[in-house]
Amino acid sequence: MTRIIAGTARGRRLVTPPGDATRPTSDRVREALFSVLQSRDAVAGARVLDLFAGSGALGLEAASRGAAAVVLVDSARAAVDAARRNAAAVTGEGVGPVDVVLAPALRYLRRPPAVPFGLVLLDPPYALGEDDLAEHLAALVAPGVLAPGALVVVERGGRTPAPAWPDGLAGEPERRYGETVLWPATATG
């Protein structure tokens, strides 16, 4: 069972897409991630982009904890349907606006947003190759996508190498939680 851990929607259960097409971030990893994010004051008031959103658990956790606005992006219709149901359930609890977009992450990134994002969460399928991940990260540093000092966090399997951070993103030390690794980076441009 996936649920919102803290904030105004604390305890809200989230539906997940049927089958095993998505891999929800465990409660333990989400709790650790958001503890770090909140200690850096990276959530409250931020515009958040959740790429490869699946059920939307990461972005909706940010919304519950005070993000100003959240965009959930996934290319699988079943995932987007689940994310829309979850967003509808959570936004009625004092949570800021949540938009759910059916699109491949890279195509979404190629259209700069009206307002840049202060926090970007990427939880791609573990099967996504390193070159594809590098292409997504490079698209993030295009003009207008990231706010100055934005934080980007990539979630990957424990056996994958560190992301190839493009110019404009300064990688930070990894954080390991069992078989999950979180790779943070800060926008430098």
Write down the pLDDT at residue 59.
Answer: 96
Q: For 40, how many CA atoms within 13 A lie in the half-sphere containing its CB?
A: 19
Write down the pLDDT at residue 90.
Answer: 87
pLDDT in tens, 42-53: 999 999 999 999
User: Is pLDDT above 90 for 102?
Assistant: yes
Distance CA 112, CA 100 (A): 16
Q: Look at 176 and 2; give whichever has higher pLDDT.
A: 176
Report the mean per-residue pLDDT for the chain.
Answer: 91
What are the structural domain ranges in the chain? 2-187
pLDDT in tens, 67-77: 999 999 999 99
Q: What global pTM score does this model have?
A: 0.94
Distance CA 51, CA 133 (A): 12
pLDDT in tens, 130-165: 999 999 999 999 999 999 999 999 999 888 899 999
CATH 3.90.650.10 fits 2-187, yes or no: no
